[in-house]
Chain A
Amino acid sequence: MTIRPPIAMLAELTHRCPLSCPYCSNPLELARAETELPTEDWVRVFREAAELGVLQLHLSGGEPASRRDLPELVRAARQIGLYTNLITSGIGLTEARLGELDAAGLDHVQLSLQGTDAEMADAIGGYRGGFTRKMQVAGWIKAIGFPLTLNTVLHRRNLHQLPRALEMAEEMGARRIEVATVQFHGWALKNRDALMPTREQAKEATRIVAEARARLKGRLVVDYVPADYHSDYPKRCMGGWGTTGLNVAPDGTVLPCHAAQTIPHLTFENVRDKPLSDIWYQSSAFNAYRGTGWMPEPCQSCDRREADFGGCRCQAMALAGDAGATDPVCIKSPHHAALQARAAAYAAGPDALIYRTAPGKPLPHIGNATTGPESRSAERITAGNG
């Protein structure tokens, strides 16, 4: 099998974040500030990534604005020739700082939206005043003229706000909106009962997106991640394991996707110890689910196997207890029927949210908590002739 070079890298600069969204894609065990890679290491990793073939760099977190060296990192990435995208909640950005990022050459901003009004957004983000602040930041982004994508994470509580989110994207001058139904990894898995959309909601969202795509053609691009527990086929997670993108965690651990550490038998290498290119081409974790050789039936003889690569490995781990199984979302999986039944039960589950904690804080107790960060869809890293 020939291994192609990656196109995109997600750099999780930090796990620190003022918000605490209950669907944050960060791991339950959050990296402490003192374990984060220093500026010079990140710059070296950016250079190694560019040499390896990465074209698109996503600066993410946590909240990347929590890193004081953010403008310096952006400047270095641009000098290296990377397309530089900032994935932010907006909280922690000031007008002056956005000006610095502009001068540093930042290519694009992706702003998350927890809800379309203060009541919803602040309840989901677990941060009072967050929405007002975000709207102010959106105004500065527009004034500077940064190309903008509005990134909404939808779930049972806020799916009804989708029409307003589409309007807001236009008002903010966004060219693109990402309508992502929550994916159940990280903190979202802990909050599955409270976040699972109903089948009707999922259908309605698909209808609204189709209508918006037709109506807004040429004005706003709508990218959509449907609710996958209610789907018949799984997503092509990360564009295929080890084919398109990689994630670097705050401490330098290199992951095939942000949830990969939930697969217990894999071991992950660190950029402090090895060149990125060795990790991409040679590490056992990246090679574990590359291509189609590892696939069981029904994937092995399925004509969709190179279309979705058997779906998400982390989801197979979480739902079937085996990272090497067919994604249970798939209609051909023996677990599919049970999953759909469970999805319906989750959607009727209790509403209490468990909020994400801060790095270094103990995990909250399940069952008695109330709120949590922003999930990146498994599909978010897209590439190729896209």
Chain B
Amino acid sequence: MIAPGAIPALPRGVRIHFDKLRDTWVLLAPERTVTLDPVAHAILSEVDGKSSFGEITARLADRYAAPQDQIAADSAGFLGALRDRLFLDLAP
């Protein structure tokens, strides 16, 4: 789980890119390319280095008319996996 007050940020060297040829968003990182499905892309689009995890999931819940705790669980799984690979910073 990620604490609601934690602030996720993409570190230098990790960035979102639209892959025109394959018509998909990807996350580019050192020696790795992660294909982003629409949900993953929606989550990462909210990661701005300022918003807290709670704020991000509230906005997503609002936009997709879905329960925030469900969005929080999905987002935490995805962001946690990125964090484990050091593709994401989490400020407590």
Choice from B12, B34, B83 contacting A386 with Cβ under 8 Å? B34
| A145-B22 contact given A217-B84, A385-B34, CB 8 Å threshold | no
CB neighbours (8 Å) of A176 from chain B are 30-31, 86
- Is the CB–CB distance between A85 and B30 below 8 Å? yes
Chain B proximity of A276: nearest CB distance (Å): 13
- Is the CB–CB distance between B31 and A55 below 8 Å? no
- Is the CB–CB distance between B17 and A386 below 8 Å? no
CB neighbours (8 Å) of A381 from chain B are 31
Chain A's closest residue to B86 (CB) is A175
Q: Tell me whether A162 is interfacial, beta carbon within 8 Å.
A: no
Choice from A81, A147, A220 contacting B13 with Cβ under 8 Å? A147
| A147-B33 contact given A55-B26, A83-B28, CB 8 Å threshold | no
CB neighbours (8 Å) of B14 from chain A are 147
Q: Tell me whether A312 is interfacial, beta carbon within 8 Å.
A: no
- Is the CB–CB distance between A147 and B30 below 8 Å? yes
Chain A proximity of B82: nearest CB distance (Å): 11
CB proximity to A under 8 Å, residues B42-64: none
Choice from B17, B28, B30 contacting A149 with Cβ under 8 Å? B30
CB proximity to B under 8 Å, residues A55-113: 55-56, 81, 83, 85, 107-108, 110
Q: Tell me whether A380 is interfacial, beta carbon within 8 Å.
A: yes
- Is the CB–CB distance between A53 and B22 below 8 Å? yes
Give complex CA distance A7, B28 in Å: 11
Q: Tell me whether B68 is interfacial, beta carbon within 8 Å.
A: no
Choice from B30, B33, B84, B86 contacting A383 with Cβ under 8 Å? B33
CB neighbours (8 Å) of A146 from chain B are 12-13
CB neighbours (8 Å) of B86 from chain A are 175-176, 218-221
CB proximity to B under 8 Å, residues A175-203: 175-176
CB neighbours (8 Å) of A149 from chain B are 30-31
Choice from B19, B22, B31, B84 contacting A382 with Cβ under 8 Å? B31
Chain A's closest residue to B34 (CB) is A385
Q: Tell me whether A291 is interfacial, beta carbon within 8 Å.
A: no
- Is the CB–CB distance between A56 and B21 below 8 Å? no
Q: Tell me whether A264 is interfacial, beta carbon within 8 Å.
A: no
Give complex CA distance A85, B14 in Å: 12
Give complex CA distance A77, B2 in Å: 36
CB neighbours (8 Å) of B85 from chain A are 221
Chain A's closest residue to B22 (CB) is A53
Q: Tell me whether A384 is interfacial, beta carbon within 8 Å.
A: yes
CB neighbours (8 Å) of B5 from chain A are none
Give the A-binding residues of B (Cβ under 8 A): 11-15, 17, 19, 21-22, 26, 28, 30-35, 83-86
Those 8 A-B pairs whose CB atoms lie nearest each other, nearest first: A147-B13, A386-B32, A83-B28, A53-B21, A175-B86, A108-B30, A108-B13, A55-B33
A to B CB contacts below 8 Å, 28 in the list: A5-B21, A51-B21, A52-B21, A53-B19, A53-B21, A55-B28, A56-B28, A56-B33, A83-B17, A85-B30, A108-B13, A146-B12, A146-B13, A147-B30, A149-B31, A175-B30, A176-B86, A217-B84, A218-B83, A218-B86, A223-B31, A380-B31, A382-B32, A383-B32, A383-B33, A385-B34, A386-B31, A386-B34
